[in-house]
Structure 1
Amino acid sequence: MPVLIVLMVLVGALCILDLILTVGVVKRLREHTELLTAPPPTPAVEVGERVGPFAATTVTGSPLGPGDFVGETLVAFFSPTCKPCKEKLPDFLRYAKAPAPGEERPVAVVVGDPGQAEDFVSRLAPTAQVVVEPPDGAMGIAFKAEMYPTMFRVAPADDGTLIVTDNAAELEHPKAATATTPVPAR
Structure 2
Amino acid sequence: MVILSIAVVVVGAMCLLNLVLTFGVIRRLREHTELLNQRIVDRAAAPGPIMLEAGATVGDFSVTTTDGVPVSRADLTGQRLVGFFSPTCAACAENMPTYVAHAQAHPGGRDAVLSVVVGSEAETAEMTRQLEPVSRVVRDVEQGEISRAFAVDGYPAYGILDGDRVKASDFVFARLTDSVTA
**TM-score interval, normalised by the smaller of the two chains:** 0.7 to 0.9
* Counterpart for residue 25 of structure 2: 20
CA distance in 1, matches of 2:104, 2:140: 23
Which deviates further from its counterpart, 69-78 or 9-18?
9-18
SS of structure 1 residue aligned to 2:112:
coil
CA distance in 1, matches of 2:86, 2:10: 60
Tell me: CA distance 1:170–1:56, structure 2 relative to 1, closer, same or farther (3 Å). Answer: same
Q: Pick from 2, 11, 17 the counterpart of residue 6 of structure 1.
A: 11
* Counterpart for residue 181 of structure 1: none
Q: Deviations over 1:105-163 (max 9, x none)?
A: 3111122454432221111112111122222111111111113222112233xxxxx22
* Counterpart for residue 166 of structure 1: 168
Amino acid at match of 2:99: F
* Counterpart for residue 114 of structure 2: 107
The structure in which a higher percent of residues are helix is 2
Q: Pick from 56, 59, 65 the counterpart of residue 58 of structure 1.
A: 65
Q: Pick from 136, 144, 149 the counterpart of residue 137 of structure 1.
A: 144
Tell me: CA distance 1:30–1:91, structure 2 relative to 1, closer, same or farther (3 Å). Answer: same
CA distance in 2, matches of 1:125, 1:119: 10
The 8 Å contact of residues 100 and 173 in structure 1, kept in 2 or not, is answered as: no
Amino acid at match of 1:5: V
* Counterpart for residue 34 of structure 2: 29
Tell me: CA distance 1:82–1:25, structure 2 relative to 1, closer, same or farther (3 Å). Answer: farther
Return the offset for 1:173.
Answer: 9.6
CA distance in 1, matches of 2:12, 2:91: 52
Return the offset for 1:71.
Answer: 2.7
Q: Pick from 38, 59, 71 the counterpart of residue 78 of structure 2.
A: 71
Structure 1: where are the runs of 5+ without partners? Answer: 157-161, 175-186
CA distance in 1, matches of 2:118, 2:12: 60
SS of structure 1 residue aligned to 2:116:
strand
**Superposition TM-score, scaled by structure 2 size:** 0.76
Return the offset for 1:75.
Answer: 0.8
Structure 2: where are the runs of 5+ without partners? Answer: 171-175
* Counterpart for residue 134 of structure 2: 127
Q: How many residues align?
A: 169
The 8 Å contact of residues 105 and 127 in structure 1, kept in 2 or not, is answered as: no
CA distance in 1, matches of 2:167, 2:133: 25
SS of structure 2 residue aligned to 1:59:
coil
**Superposition TM-score, scaled by structure 1 size:** 0.75
